[in-house]
Amino acid sequence: MMAPGLNELKKEYAGRLEVEFIDTLRNPGAKGQYDAPFCATQSFIDASGKELFRHVGFYAKPDILAKWKELGVDLEAPAASREAPKSAAQPKTGGG
């Protein structure tokens, strides 16, 4: 269910936001590797690799963007004036 929104984020915010989609149905070892025992786990990670927020369950595109804003990341600012997160909503999900 989240795949379409994540794909949109990946395209629309290329160069400003890194979106990784890990399908744990196809890659069950990722559940332990990323400490994501449940389908649809999103990790918000800053440029240094620190996890800032984690959500379990469906998280819509507008909610993801709002969370980044709440965390102080301005995705609308020009690239030169902000430090983009290394990895954004890093979904660890088992399906679409």
For 5-57, what is each residue's pLDDT tens digit?
A: 999 999 998 888 889 887 777 887 877 777 776 778 888 888 888 889 988 88
For 80-92, what is each residue's pLDDT tens digit?
A: 444 555 444 443 3
SS3 42: strand
| Model confidence pTM above 0.75 | no
Which pLDDT does position 89 carry in this prediction? 45
Which pLDDT does position 74 carry in this prediction? 82
**Which has the higher per-residue pLDDT, 27 or 70?**
70
- Give the residue-averaged pLDDT of 57-61: 90
Domain that holds residue 88: 3-73+82-93
Check: CB of residue 42 under 8 Å from CB of residue 54.
yes
- Give the residue-averaged pLDDT of 73-80: 68
Which pLDDT does position 78 carry in this prediction? 54
Among candidate residues 20, 27, 26, 25, the one with its CA nearest the CA of residue 42: 20
Query: How many domains are contained in the chain?
Result: 1
Among candidate residues 20, 31, 24, the one with its CA nearest the CA of residue 91: 20
